[in-house]
Amino acid sequence: ELYHEKLRGQLHFSPKRGWTNDPNGLVYYNGEYHLFFQHNPYGRGWGNMHWGHAVSKDLLHWKEIGEALYPDKFGPMFSGGAVVDANNTSGLGENGKPAMVMFYTGAKAWAQCLAWTTDGRAFHKLDHAVVPRINKDNRDPKVVWHEPSKKWVMVVWVERDNAQNSIQILTSPDLKNWKEAGVVYGGKGDDRYLFECPEFYELPVDGNTKEKKWVLTAANGEYAVGTFDGEKFTPEEEKLFNQRGRDYYASQTYSNEPKGRRVEIGWWRTNTDKDGMTFNQSQSIPTELKLTRTKEGIRLTRTPVEEMNALRVKTYPFSKMKLKAGAANPLAKVNVELAEIRVEFEPGSAKEVTFNVRGVPVVYNVAKQELTIDGVTSPAPLQNGKQSMIIYADRIGLEVYASNGLLFMPVNINITAENRTLAVSATGGTANINNLTVYELKSIWE
């Protein structure tokens, strides 16, 4: 049955059929969250890139409504972003209705092109590129409004002096005419960090709107935090990384988010080209981004959007407990397929605290303050001696948030449907579980 196939993520968007990779044009417009996505409508492998299109009222339940952008004389439709032109700077609005303006790469001309809609359903394109090829296979335009200079700002991946991977900043008064401004250098070869799919946005530090920083990220999730004067981005800290899941790439954030949040969706690389599936790959759970000051500096955190809570259908609460090495499994009575686990623990004398999630061990090494899942190990620092984690389990893997969101680890593992058990255990000593709740979740595909 469509949307309930064996390897169809039940907490995540994936296309009815064909391949998807990057999320594109994430924007809230006319009462809907739009999710465009790199889409091959003709096969389960990468190719023939179109912009597929789905909409949602709540970031959870998606309705796929067909292709929005088809390949044209500029080439296949590669990734990019979208904005709402509320002040009609582009003149593309109609009868007082602001336009949604989309930017994409025509991947034969390697030019940045513009499309728009005034109803979120019918899409029009300018017949010329707004940013002609600069120097290479330039791609992935993302646009954001800069209030102090009253200008639009575009970031796009290029290569600059000495073949460095670089992000070109451009500015525009009207979304149509763009002028080159600053360049941010991101290193060469394997040392690079600014490669493909740049993102650029401003966030308050610890919620303090008097202290805001700009964040520049690229496809693999490494990022820089700094200041931006409307032309030039000055990084204060670079090559930061808080997500080591091998399986998360090319994330993008929503423009015009109605609650003022910075909400991100990324391509969750899944292992789904098998078992007769008609589609392949998935988008992640939407997460909310924030900046927080740590001992090391200012860092991004990710937490699942609160909308996710609406999927809870059954609660298994557990009271505060001491978890001794070798003790009986406190979660023995739980029986779930789709699950959310929320826990806070103090490791005490334990050497390891392990959650076994439907056969997948999530292992916290106390001395090293590291989390290991499926062979991937990431730093997960204790906060005031505590570790807090959120784990989502779907058919196609786990999304794990640790250290109050300093670590986000999506890991793709196709989980055996029959295994509906959870376990928590300690080794080497006794851990204190301060609180622990397991929720059974319902599918987003109703």
Q: Which residues, in sequence order, are CB contacts of 143 under 8 Å at separation 6+?
A: 81, 82, 83, 101, 103, 152, 153, 154, 175, 255
Q: Would you call 52 helix, strand, or coil by DSSP? A: strand
CA distance 192 to 190: 5
Phi-psi region of 97 (alpha: psi -120 to 50; beta: other; left: phi over 0): beta
CA distance 89 to 8: 41
Task: Give yes or no: 127 in active site.
Answer: no
Q: How far is the CB of 10 from ligand FRU (least distance, A)?
A: 24
Question: Which of 267/392 has CB closer to ligand FRU?
Answer: 267
- Type of residue numbered 200: F
Question: Which of 123/345 has CB closer to ligand FRU?
Answer: 123
CA dihedral over 104, 106, 109, 114, signed as positive or negative: negative
CA–CA distances in Å: residue 288 to residues 109, 265, 307: 35, 9, 11
Question: Which of 280/372 has CB closer to ligand FRU?
Answer: 280
Question: Which of 40/404 has CB closer to ligand FRU?
Answer: 40
Question: Which of 137/306 has CB closer to ligand FRU?
Answer: 137
The tokens for 63 are 């309705």
Q: How far is the CB of 23 from ligand FRU (least distance, A)?
A: 10
Q: How far is the CB of 400 from ligand FRU (least distance, A)?
A: 22
Burial environment of residue 324 by CB neighbours within 10 A (0 to 12, 13 to 18, 19 or more): middle
Residue in 22, 85, 140, 394 annotated catalytic? 22
Q: How far is the CB of 79 from ligand FRU (least distance, A)?
A: 3
**Under 8 Å between Cβ of 9 and 412:** no
CA dihedral over 70, 32, 288, 417, signed as positive or negative: negative
Q: Which residues bind ligand FRU (CB under 6 A)?
A: 21-22, 38, 49, 78-79, 105, 139-140, 196-197, 219, 249-250
Question: Which of 49/265 has CB closer to ligand FRU?
Answer: 49
Q: How far is the CB of 36 from ligand FRU (least distance, A)?
A: 12
Q: Which of 125, 171, 174, 179 is nearest to 149 (CA)?
A: 171
Q: How far is the CB of 351 from ligand FRU (least distance, A)?
A: 39
* Residue 330 CA from chain centroid, whole number: 33
CA distance 256 to 325: 49
**Residues annotated as catalytic (active site), given as ranges:** 22
